Amino acid sequence: MFHLARRFFGYITSNPPTSDELDTVRTQLSDELYDLFITMNPQDQRHAIEVARRVDDDALLEAALLHDVGKSASQVGALGRSLATIASAVSIPVSGSWDLYLDHGKIGGSMLETAGADAITIAFARFHPGPPPPGVSPAHWHALEEADNQ
């Protein structure tokens, strides 16, 4: 639970990306994928940029930048995200935007597939956290998870 509290306070205190950071992201993504990145709220964009800074492999930048893109479908803020996560942890059924938030991996994977993202990007959005799915390099998967969890 400590990591969830740390993420909550990190989320609410994060600064939005600068225009220079957004320009850099634009050069790293196709137009379709950048359009998805921009749908993310500024806190998720900040997190994604930080994850991308922590990966040492250019082949993983797209996955790092877009792994949480499905959260944009829910439009749930920090408190709603926290409550949805707690409700899920104690097996309380949720619906509406909380359900969309909890399903952000599946939603994001579908969004990325439609936009033509790389296989690792689609898989990481869809299945993280968790073990690497078949066909995905465990080394790449663990590098992304480590960068996401720092």
Residues near 36 by Cβ (< 8 Å), separated by ≥ 6? 66, 69, 72, 111, 112, 115
Cα–Cα distances in angstroms (integers) from residue 84 to residues 70, 96, 102, 111, in the given order: 15, 11, 7, 22
Mean pLDDT taken over the chain: 93
Which of these, 80, 90, 81, 50, lies nearest to 67 by C-alpha position?
50
**pLDDT classification of 2: cutoffs 50, 70, 90:** low
Q: pTM of the entire structure?
A: 0.90
Q: What is the pLDDT of residues 80-117, one digit of tens each?
A: 888 888 888 899 998 999 999 899 999 999 999 999 99
